[in-house]
Structure 1
Amino acid sequence: MSARVLVADDDPRQAEVVRRYLVAEGHEAIVVHDGRAALAEGRRRRPDLMMLDVMMPGLDGLQVCRTLRQESDVLVLMLTARTTEEDLLLGLELGADDYLTKPYSPRELMARIRTLLRRAPRSAPHASGFGRREIGRICVDLGRHQVTVDGVPIECTRGEFAILAAMAQQPERVFTRAQLLHHTRGIDRSSTERTIDVHVMNLRRKIEPDSRRPTQLLTVYGVGYKLTSSPKLEPGPMGTP
C-alpha cells in the first residue's frame, strides 16, 4: 500500500535514512526538522501518516500531536528516546496511534508503518445498518469508523476505536488486556498492557456520564474489561456502590 508519509525529526541523518527506506517501499516521503514545519506541512500536504520525534525545536512532537488531534485523524507514530512508561503513555493519551523508542532499526520502523497503514479505515459504501453495533446508549459503526452516544458523535483515536469495536462485536464478553492489546496494535516488545488502561480511561471520559462510575464499559477485576448493553453501575472510588 503506497502512502504519503511526513517525517519530522531534527536529526537530518536519521531523517534521511528513514526517507530512503520509505521511498524504497514505494511511499512518498516528506521530511521536516522541527515541530512548526511538521504542523504546517501536515496541514498543507495532508499525509496518510506522520512520524513525530518527541524532542524537536519550536514545537515538540507531543505539542504537534495534541494540535493535530483537534483537526485531523491522520495516523501518528511517535519516535521517542524517553523510555519510562509514563512518558510513552503520554503520547497515547494525546492521540498517537503508536510509538517507537530510540534507538530503533529501520526494519522495525517499516513494520510498524505497514501495520498502521493496514489498520487505517478505508471508505466503502454500506447499506443502512451494515456494520453497526448498538450496545445500550453506544452505537459503533464499524465501516465508517464512527461512534455515537445517544446519537451524539464521539471522536475516538484509532486505538480507542479498535478497543470499542472489538468489545461491541461481543457484548458481555470479558476481554483481557492482552487480548485488547492485540486488537489495537499487536503484542510487541514496546507495548505494555498499561496502554489498554489508558485507552479505557479515555473512552470512559467520552462515553460514560460519569467516568469515575462507569455503567457500560466495566472492569472485571483480576481479568480485564467488558462492554455491557444493560447499564450496570461499577463501584466508584473507595468502593462506594
Structure 2
Amino acid sequence: MKEEKPIILVVEDETDVLRINARMLTRRGYTVYTAKNCRQAYERMEAPTPDLLILDIMLPDGSGYDICERFRSTSDHPVIFLTGKGETCDKVEGLGHGGDYYLTKPYDPDELLAVADMLIKRHLQTKKKREQLTRIVKGSLVLDIPKFKATVNGTDAELTAKEFALLLLLVQSEDKEVPPHELYEKVWGTPSGEDIRTIRFHIKNLRRKIHADDANDYDIVSVYRKGYMFTTVC
C-alpha cells in the first residue's frame, strides 16, 4: 500500500511568497494546498485535515490568529506563523494563540523547510504513539486518547488540542514534576527559550476546565521552581 504524503496548507496573501513556498514544499515531497484568505483557508481545512498549517497573520478578510484558533479547536496538528510582524510581543501573541513556531519575513527558505520537516516528523511520531493507547481513567477524570477528549464525571471538559496534550503528558508523568520548558518542548515541539507564560496560561485554563480545584480524587499542582505535577488521591 502506497504511503500517503503529509498535507501542508499554506495561507498567504502575497502571491509570490505563496507560489515560492508551495513549489518548495511540493519538491520536498509534501502535498500542498494553498489559500489567499481566511475564507479559502476554512474551506481547505475541512477534509482532509492538514498535517501542518503555515499561516500569515495579516490577511484581507481576517487574521491568521483566527484561523489558528479554529484549527486548534479540533486538531493538535502543528502550526507555523510566517509573517512580517516581528516584535517580541507579536511572537508571544502568536504562540499564545496556539502556534508551534514563529518565523518572520524576510526568512530563510531552508529554515522554513527544516522547521516543517521537524514539526511534521514529531507530529507523525506522536500520532503513532497515541494510536497505541486508548483510554486513561483517573478517578472522575477520563481521557479518551483516540478522540482527543477528556471528561469529568461524564461531562466533556471541552479541552483544546494543546490543553489535552498537556493533560495527557502530565497524567502519563503522574506524581513527577514536569518542568515548564519540558512541557513546552514536548507539546509545542520547539524550545521554549525563557518564556513560560504560554505554559502558565494553558495550565490555568486546563485546571479550570477539569475542575481541579473542586475534584477530590486528582489535581494538577504547581511545585515551586520545579514545574507542574498531576497527582491522584487514593
Q: How many matched pairs?
A: 223
Deviation at 1:143, TM superposition (A): 5.0
Please report the RMSD computed on the Cα atoms of aligned residues, expressed in angstroms. Answer: 3.1
C-alpha distance after superposition, 1:64-117 (max 9, x if no partner) = 2233445x32633322333445433434444x3413220332222223323332
Q: In structure 2, do the counterparts of structure 1 residues 144 and 69 end up closer, same or farther at CA, with 3 Å as the change threshold?
A: closer
Deviation at 1:166, TM superposition (A): 1.9
- Distance between the aligned counterparts of 1:134 and 1:80, measured in 2? 41
Aligned-residue identity in percent: 28
- Distance between the aligned counterparts of 1:9 and 1:116, measured in 2? 19
What are the equivalent positions in structure 2 for 1:127-146 lying under 5 Å apart? 131-142=134-145, 144-146=147-149
Verify the 8 A CA contact 2:185 2:191 in the aligned structure 1.
Answer: no
- Distance between the aligned counterparts of 1:24 and 1:152, measured in 2? 46
1:237 corresponding residue in structure 2: none
- Distance between the aligned counterparts of 2:225 and 2:103, measured in 1? 30
Question: What is the letter of the counterpart of residue 162 of structure 2?
Answer: G
C-alpha distance after superposition, 1:189-226 (max 9, x if no partner) = 77833322222123123212659xxx711111222111
- Distance between the aligned counterparts of 1:42 and 1:144, measured in 2? 18
With structure 1 as the length reference, what TM-score do the two structures score?
Answer: 0.76
Q: Which of 157, 171, 176 is the equivalent residue of 1:154?
A: 157
1:166 aligns with 2:169: yes
- Distance between the aligned counterparts of 2:182 and 2:129, measured in 1? 26
Q: Secondary structure at the match of 2:176?
A: coil
2:103 corresponding residue in structure 1: 101
Q: In structure 2, do the counterparts of structure 1 residues 125 and 228 end up closer, same or farther at CA, with 3 Å as the change threshold?
A: closer
Verify the 8 A CA contact 2:54 2:80 in the aligned structure 1.
Answer: yes
Structure 2: 5+ residue runs without aligned partners?
none
2:191 corresponding residue in structure 1: 188
1:222 aligns with 2:187: no
1:6 corresponding residue in structure 2: 9
1:176 aligns with 2:179: yes
